[in-house]
Amino acid sequence: MKREKFKFLSKDRVPSENSRFVSGKGNFVADIDRPNMLHVAILPCHEPAAIIKKIDFSKALELKGVVDIVTGDELLNAIKPLLNGLDTPHVKRYPLAIKRVRYAGEWVCAVVANSRAVAEDALEKISLELIKQEFVLDAEEALSDKSPNVHPDHGSNILLEKKFIWGEVEKDFDKSDHILNYTVKWGRNSTVPIETFGVVAEWNNIESILDVWASIQMPKFSDHIATVLGLKGNDVRVHFDVDVGGSYGVKRGIKHTILASYISRKLNRPIKFIEDRLENMRAGDAHGPERKFNVSLAFDNNGKINSMKMRALDNAGAYAGRAPFQLGKPIGAIVGPYKISSVEYEAISVTTNKAVQEAVRGFGQAPTNYALETGVDKVASYLKVDKLDLRKLNFIKASEFPYTIPSGSEYDSGDYLTVLEKVFKETNYKDLINKRDKLRKKGIMAGVGIASCLEPSGGNSSFEPLLNEKNKTTTWMESCQINVDALGDIIVKIHTTSSGQGHETLVSTIVGEILEVSPEKIRVSRPNSLESLPGNSPVGSRMAIMLGGAAARAADKIKSKIMEIAKFKFGVSKDNLIYKNASVISNDGNVLTWQQIIDLCHRQINELPSGMDPGLASFDIMQVPTGGKLPKNNKVHMYPCYSFEFHLVLITFDPVICKPNILSYTVGHDCGTVINPSIVTGMTYGGVAHGIGAALFEEFVYDENGQLMTQSFLDYLMPSSNEIPEIKIVKHCTPSPHTYFGQKGSGESGYLGAPAAISSAINDALNPLKLEVSSLPIRMHFVSDLIASHENNGKFKK
């Protein structure tokens, strides 16, 4: 159903969540206190690899206020390992280290006490006897037979190794005029929300039920808890009305929650565990992809890119986490916005003695975009053609949609050239190049960067069966319930937590649009998991499409019932009825008002068509549009929608100190029909800032001894308002044919292209010196050394 004019949709409306957050009335997990509650602190082990010989906590137990101390050995006998979705039975992960530690900071035991302070004091009284083991930190080294195995029973460090060949790769390489090989690296960074992970778990012995309040963003969370603890699904009640203080993927918290829940069941008391920053940074779910790409591009003299070979080696850290699958999502947009006819993709995920990787915004797409975009720049530089012209030449044209890429996904729609034109109206490319050249004449390092990237959206999980043949999942549904009460007021229920995505605004706008009721009058409720229908939470940039879709379909069902009632009441056919302003008007002038509809549904079943149920309620469980198939011949269609973004940036820095200055930043963004412009704009601003962080600042760094050197914000650098320039956002709308209103995803916008664009600009600035940087984050002191070394013919020494 497409609509030309919207009442509430795409209008500049203030998101309904704003007032509660700006007035400090959010309800975060740290705000939740339960009677008789106990607190947890965690003892980490600081060795990157060791066998645990003995844990002596007798002195800690003597401390007043300490109630219990739980070790890995205890958990081993009481719960199942966490689920990882792979077929790796010997890579087992528990909330606490079992027999051996595999990364510095890994949790060894949990102290339970009357207060967090007492629990922390008790940590100091626990002594560990360890036998140090060999460790490995580098992914390439971890692949070698000589390297120590992080999980000796597994027999190697390889979690996933899969090579895909889509199309005639060798033929395309043979017939191409040129081949270019390059390597780029994406540093281990993340999203680092202000709120660390927190959970309150409360087991009720009488009713046999586990209540969980947690700052989560994780699909199938309650199922996971029940499975690991050996409970029935309906024994676990996860409360979705907890506000989550930022996530973008990292608020998994499953090990924290299993631990707190286990303790709560054991002691029959509520348990609160709020990570501190150190726990979060070194052993929470804070780390994202760390990846090395070896890429070969085959292309012709005219710049046409024919084929790509990409090897992506991912350093997963000590356990499986979500890392291996983050190599899977990019398969759905492996050629970006370009017509590349064949691809070879080798995805390798290895364990090392670093912290475990979890999901991060884009689920691996931003690193892959960076690798591909760097290559496109390199081809342009090699052929001495403009990198913008090269992109234009290789773009999929608006008339070519739907467009199926070699790996099997079908891109829904797009109009990349028009987005570019719109961007250049705001910031002219040629003018920017002229400005750059003028700056260069003054001795300033200046570079123009561009990146054109896709955001696959509508979160499906088809990469799981593609990477693990035992996984036969073909649905990744989302649902929504609507009830119109006896007073005529509308309640919409959504079945997930929100970490700033504005789900309440999303569903109230959409239900309001369809029922023509002001969204302000609609109450959105986030019940607990027992009162919810199946859903898969806000991952994979999916909620505008999936939750928005389910809400629209549920609202349509309400409207259909109303129309049935009107048809019956007025004795006319549907064609003679119009739904307008929450009333039904017949062509002969009869009006059925909202109040009348409510009276009929709630009080006068005798006036309803025979057999019609009373009340006015509906629900919808929606399948991902275009999804539903298992992979065939190593190919699968992954995402229903593909948003497009184009970044154009001018960066300058002086050749000595190299402090970067982003003089101009413009991003063109096409995510189809926008539900709420303010939310999409906020996503894109934040995404660009996040991408600038990944490009220039943020990295979880380990020293050669396996110690994490960036455990706090002293060392893990985050961009602040000082580093983020004014960002101009240029919007364009190419509706998706697969969604209710033509909407696409935008939860990852900005972040998917900004790192590539910044790298492109810095490399452009270095181009006159024939220097380049090929790993993120780009350390400007390294750039400074590079320039100095060049100026001294390589004789420069630090």
Binding residues for other proteins (CB under 8 A): 44, 46-47, 104-105, 123-124, 127-128, 278, 282, 703, 705-712, 714-715
Alpha-carbon distances, residue 509 vs 549, 598, 621, 677 (angstroms): 12, 21, 19, 12
Task: For the CB of residue 55, give the shortest distance to other proteins in the complex, in Å.
Answer: 13
Q: How far apart are CA 791 and CA 27, in angstroms?
A: 57
CB of 753 to other proteins, least distance (A): 32
Which residues is 453 bridged to in the sheet? Answer: 645
Integer Cα distance of 701 and 776 in angstroms: 12
Nearer to other proteins, 62 or 241 (CB): 62
Least gap, CB of 711 to other proteins (angstroms)? 4
Interatomic CA distance for residues 124 and 309, integer angstroms: 52
Name the minimum Å distance from CB 46 to other proteins.
Answer: 3
Whether the CB-CB separation of 96 and 107 falls below 8 Å is answered with: yes
Nearer to other proteins, 100 or 493 (CB): 100
Q: Which is nearer to other proteins, 42 or 419 (CB)?
A: 42
CA within 13 Å, CB half, 384 = 1
Q: How far is the CB of 106 from other proteins (least distance, A)?
A: 12
**Distance from the first to the final alpha carbon of the chain:** 64
Q: Which is nearer to other proteins, 55 or 494 (CB)?
A: 55
Q: Which is nearer to other proteins, 639 or 716 (CB)?
A: 716
Least spacing, CB of residue 699 vs other proteins, in Å: 14
Closer Cβ to other proteins, 276 or 421, answer by number:
276
Q: How near is the Cβ of 704 to other proteins at its closest, in Å?
A: 9
Q: How far is the C-alpha of 785 from the C-alpha of 773, rounded, in Å?
A: 12
Strand partners, 317: 351
DSSP result, 586-633:
ETTS-EE-HHHHHHHHHH-GGGSPTT--SSEEEEEEEPPTT-----BT
3-state helix, strand, coil in the chain (%, to 5): 30, 25, 45
Residue with tokens 């699958």: 325
CA 723 centroid distance within chain? 23
CA–CA gap between residue 436 and residue 769 (Å, rounded): 15
What minimum distance in Å lies between the beta carbon of 67 and other proteins? 20
Closer of 106 and 415 to other proteins (Cβ): 106
Nearer to other proteins, 127 or 302 (CB): 127
Instruction: Check: CB of residue 157 under 8 Å from CB of residue 147.
Output: yes
Cβ distance to other proteins smaller for residue 10 or 711: 711
Contact at 8 Å (CB) between 753 and 376?
A: no
CB of 45 to other proteins, least distance (A): 9
Q: Which residues of 709-725 are buried (b: 16+ CB within 10 A; e: fewer)?
A: ebbeeeebeebeeebbb
CA dihedral 491, 497, 501, 505 (to 10 degrees): 10
Query: Could you tell me which of 662, 777, 790, 761 has the C-alpha nearest to residue 377?
Result: 761
Judge residue 583's burial from the number of C-beta atoms within 10 Å of its C-beta, 0-12 exposed, 13-18 middle, 19 or more buried: middle
Question: Which residue number, 494 or 708, has a Cβ lying nearer to other proteins?
Answer: 708
Q: How far is the CB of 42 from other proteins (least distance, A)?
A: 12
Contact 109, 101 (CB under 8 A): no
Work out how close the CB of 103 gets to other proteins at its nearest, in angstroms, rounded to a whole number: 12
Q: Which helix (H) or strand (E) holds 494?
A: strand 490-494
Q: Which residue type is seen at 131?
A: I
* Least CB distance to other proteins at residue 126 (A): 9
Q: Among 639, 681, 673, which Cα is nearest to 743's?
A: 673
Count the Cβ atoms, other than its own, within 10 Å of residue 124.
11
Q: Toward other proteins, which CB reaches closer, 432 or 708?
A: 708
Cα–Cα distance, 529 to 220 (Å, whole number): 10
The least distance separating other proteins from the CB of residue 712, rounded to whole angstroms, comes to 5
Nearer to other proteins, 428 or 707 (CB): 707
Q: Say how many CA atoms lie within 13 Å of 185 toward its Cβ.
A: 14
Of 710 and 763, nearer to other proteins (C-beta) is 710
Query: Could you tell me the smallest distance in angstroms from the CB atom of residue 239 to other proteins?
Result: 34
Using the minimum distance from each CB to other proteins, give the nearer residue, 474 or 707.
707
